[in-house]
C-alpha cells in the first residue's frame, strides 16, 4: 500500500486520511509488511524495516499550562501637583494608576489560568512504535507507552497526556496525521477506546470523496473486522 491519493483533486489532508486508513487496516489485519516506508533524514530507534516511518506531515504543537503565578507589579507611586490645575493632574494620575493596576491584575490572572499555548511547528513522523516531532531546532520522540491518555478533540486535533521524567504534560497536536497518532496509540494502549471503536479517522465527508475518486476500486475501510463489530487492537 502506497501513501499517494487519487489524482490532483485530492488535498494533502485527503491523502493523509487515506494513509491513516491504510495503516490502521494493515495493523489490525497483520499486514504491516505491505505498508511502504517514508524516507526521513534522522536516526529512528529500533531496527529497519520494523521501525520504518510510515507517514509524515506538518504539525503545530500546543501545551496546556499556566504561564504565571497570579502576581503583578502594583504601581503605588505618589504624584502630587499644586494649584487647581495640579489637583486635576493628581486625580488624573491616580485614576491612571488604578486603571493600570486593574489591567495588570487581569493580565496576571489570565497568565495564571491554564490555557493552550503554541510551542512549536515542524514535521510529524509516525511509525508503529510511536512518533517523532521534527523541528528546525530539535527532534523529540514519543513512544506509545509514554502516552497515558489520548483522544481526538476535533478533526486534525489530538490531545495527549504524556509521562516524562519531569512529570506529566498535556499537549495538543494539530496535523493531518492527528488521526493516525490517535488510532496507533489506541490500538496498542486502549483498543476499547470509544473513539477507536467508532473509527473516528474515517470521516464521512472524506469517505464520500474517496469513494467518488476510486469508484469500484475503493476499498471498504468500514467493514467489520473478523469476528467482532469493532477493532481488536494490535
The pTM is what? 0.79
**Residue 2: inside a domain:** no
> Looking at the structure, do residues 58 and 131 belong to the same domain, yes or no?
yes
Contacts of 23 by beta carbon, 8 Å cutoff, 6+ apart: 35, 54, 55, 126, 180, 183, 184
Q: pLDDT, tens digit, for every residue of 146-199? A: 999 999 999 999 999 999 999 999 999 999 999 999 999 999 999 999 999 999
Element holding 24 (H helix, E strand): helix 12-28
pLDDT value, residue 111: 56
Q: 32-89 pLDDT, tens per residue?
A: 999 999 999 999 999 999 999 999 999 999 999 987 655 555 556 554 455 665 555 5
In-domain check, residue 145: yes
Q: Is the peptide bond before 49 cis (omega within 30 degrees of 0)?
A: yes
Render 158-179 in DSSP notation, one character per residue.
EEEEEEETTEEEEEEEEETTHH
Q: Which domain holds residue 190?
A: 12-66+116-217
* Domain identity same for 134 and 200: yes
Please state, in angstroms and rounded to a whole number, the distance separating the CA atoms of residues 67 and 150.
24
Amino acid at each position: 500500500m502506497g501513501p499517494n491519493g487519487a489524482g490532483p483533486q485530492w488535498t494533502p489532508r485527503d491523502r493523509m486520511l487515506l494513509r491513516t486508513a491504510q495503516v490502521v487496516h494493515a495493523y489490525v489485519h497483520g499486514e504491516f509488511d505491505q505498508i511502504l516506508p517514508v524516507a526521513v533524514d534522522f536516526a529512528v530507534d529500533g531496527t529497519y524495516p520494523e521501525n520504518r516511518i510510515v507517514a509524515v506531515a506538518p504539525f503545530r504543537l500546543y501545551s496546556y499550562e499556566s504561564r504565571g503565578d497570579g502576581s503583578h507589579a502594583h504601581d503605588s507611586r505618589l504624584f502630587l501637583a499644586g494649584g487647581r490645575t495640579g489637583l486635576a493632574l493628581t486625580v488624573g494620575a491616580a485614576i491612571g494608576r488604578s486603571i493600570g493596576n486593574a489591567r495588570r491584575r487581569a493580565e496576571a490572572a489570565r497568565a495564571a489560568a491554564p490555557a493552550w499555548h503554541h510551542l512549536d511547528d515542524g514535521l510529524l513522523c509516525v511509525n508503529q512504535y510511536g512518533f517523532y516531532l521534527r523541528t528546525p531546532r530539535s527532534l523529540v520522540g514519543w513512544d506509545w507507552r509514554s502516552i497515558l491518555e489520548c483522544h481526538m478533540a476535533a478533526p486534525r486535533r489530538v490531545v495527549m497526556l504524556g509521562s516524562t521524567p519531569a512529570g506529566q504534560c498535556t499537549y495538543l497536536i494539530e496535523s493531518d496525521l492527528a488521526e493516525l497518532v490517535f488510532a496507533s496509540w489506541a490500538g496498542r494502549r486502549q483498543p476499547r477506546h470509544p473513539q477507536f471503536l467508532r473509527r473516528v479517522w474515517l470521516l464521512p465527508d472524506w469517505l464520500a470523496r474517496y469513494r467518488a475518486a476510486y469508484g469500484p476500486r475503493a476499498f471498504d475501510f468500514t467493514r467489520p473486522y473478523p469476528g467482532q463489530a469493532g477493532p481488536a487492537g494490535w
